[in-house]
Amino acid sequence: MAKERSYSSLIARLKAGGLRPTRQRLALARLLFEGGDRHLTAEQLHSEAEESAVRVSVATVYNTLHQFTKVGLLREVVVEPGRSYFDTNVDDHHHFYFEATGDLQDIPSDRLRVRELPEPPEGTRIERVDVVVRVRNLET
């Protein structure tokens, strides 16, 4: 039901961002957006594409992820050195990060608030506030 709408609106959203709805971009978009909230690395998305018999190069996966991020379809999350996650949830929210598995889980913004946010330094404006709650497995 929402699938159809979301699929056809994707084309519109790509166009709105100045991105042509190519075979690759649409295929990646489906993988990304047809499964609820997800947190994927470029590697992971590329593997999923291969498994779904979608031919895309690694370069295109990276290009696409960055372009989607630029037009607001994705949000980049940095929690671990040397690996970027892309989050299909672009609403205001935060994350649990499971150090053991490398997984991320959303924390809706009404479950965690930052208060007394300090003034940004002279000549700058706040772009975003990222909160990462790092969790570890309870002791063995």
Question: Residue 134 binds which entry of DNA, its own copies, none, with Cβ cut-offs from 5 to 8 Å by kind?
Answer: its own copies
Residues that bind DNA (rule: CB under 7 A) add up to a total of: 26
CA pseudo-torsion sign 4, 10, 13, 15: negative
**Residue 83 binds its own copies, judged by CB under 8 A:** yes
28, 69 Cβ separation under 8 angstroms:
no
Location of structure tokens 């037009």: 71
Among the residue ranges 13-21, 27-35, 65-73, 103-111, the one whose residues contact its own copies (CB under 8 A): 103-111
**Residue 70 binds its own copies, judged by CB under 8 A:** no
Distance CA 111, CA 68 (A): 27
| Backbone φ, ψ for residue 78 (5° rounding) | -115, 115
**Residue 69 binds DNA, judged by CB under 7 A:** no
Among the residue ranges 6-14, 45-53, 62-70, 124-132, the one whose residues contact its own copies (CB under 8 A): 124-132
Nearer CB in complex with DNA: 3/15: 15
Question: Residue 58 binds which entry of its own copies, DNA, none, with Cβ cut-offs from 5 to 8 Å by kind?
Answer: DNA
Distance CA 11, CA 133 (A): 35
